[in-house]
Structure 1
Amino acid sequence: GFEVQTMRLGGLTCRLKEVQEEIRQCLKKEVFYMEEVEAKALPFAYMEKYDMRTLVYNRWDHIVTPSVME
């Protein structure tokens, strides 16, 4: 059902509001550090043996829902 999308969109909405507030605080100099910005970015790859530049396959069917899609 659509309840899965409702939860995902609701979670995204909450996160966007949190980030908006964090950015507002930085702009007003209320905080001077944002962990998300300062943290070192981790390498991204589905499988370690592949170079990120060669990853071209789509995993949408695994991301969108835990259910099996045929």
Structure 2
Amino acid sequence: MYWKYEALIIYLPRILSLYVFLKALMFFTYQEQMFAAINDTDDDTQTSSSSEGEDDDIVEEEICVISP
């Protein structure tokens, strides 16, 4: 009977710390995506990188989906 409480005492802090770590990782990843999305729309930071010899008629568009 006491082994249930012993396992709870041992594993609960590990599970909670893993949960907090994963939530923090998700938060910082979301912040980086938001920062990148803001920088992509900023006109001052955009540079045109068309070089000679490459096909200029091929346009690649990156779609960024940000989910909370």
TM-score, structure 2 normalization:
0.42
Larger radius of gyration: 2
TM-score, structure 1 normalization:
0.41
Structure richer in helix, relative to its length: 2
